[in-house]
Amino acid sequence: MLSKKTKYGLKALIYIAKQEGPTPVLISDISEKEQIPKKFLEAILLDLKKFGILGSKKGKGGGYYLLKDPKTVTAATLIRVLDGPIAMLPCVSLNFYERCADCPQEETCALNHFMAEVRDNTLALLQQKTLYDLIQL
């Protein structure tokens, strides 16, 4: 399940990406149009800025804007930036791997093998969908 942080982050990015040109978008506009609490949105947008997905401009005419082409930003990247691992178990995570403390032998664990398959199928879909695809819906 997506966290609210990821859901709101995706909604905000879709809103920003749908705007005409590289014009900065005010947090208050995104918050109002997408029904996202403003303070929470500020923290989310700062995370996206820190990872180089968004840029910001201060002052009159300021706000947040996309730094990257929406066709190059995958859903997998956005989820990882906002939420961390995509895998449902740490023992099958590609980027955030941790051995499960209660698993004596990962190689023969049926749950590990099943969750790796779930991860692979989920990841394949998330890597092929981009922010551009999301704004076309």
What number is the average pLDDT over the span 16-34? Answer: 91
pTM over 0.85: yes
Q: Across the chain, where does the E strand assignment appear?
A: 54-57, 63-66
pLDDT-based confidence at residue 137 (cuts at 50, 70, 90): confident
Tokens linked to 42: 């500020």
Residue partners of 32: CB distance under 8 A and separation at least 6: none
Q: Find which of 20-29, 64-73, 97-106 is predicted with most confidence, using mean pLDDT.
A: 64-73
Helix axis angle for 110-128 and 75-83, nearest 10°, is: 120
Domain boundaries, the chain: 4-66, 70-132
Distance CA 53, CA 46 (A): 10
Q: What percent of the chain has pLDDT over 90?
A: 78
Quick check: 16 and 134 in contact, CB under 8 A? no
The pLDDT value given to residue 17: 95
What's the CATH architecture for 4-66?
Orthogonal Bundle (1.10)
* Position 95 pLDDT exceeds 90: no
Query: Rounded mean pLDDT of the chain?
Result: 93
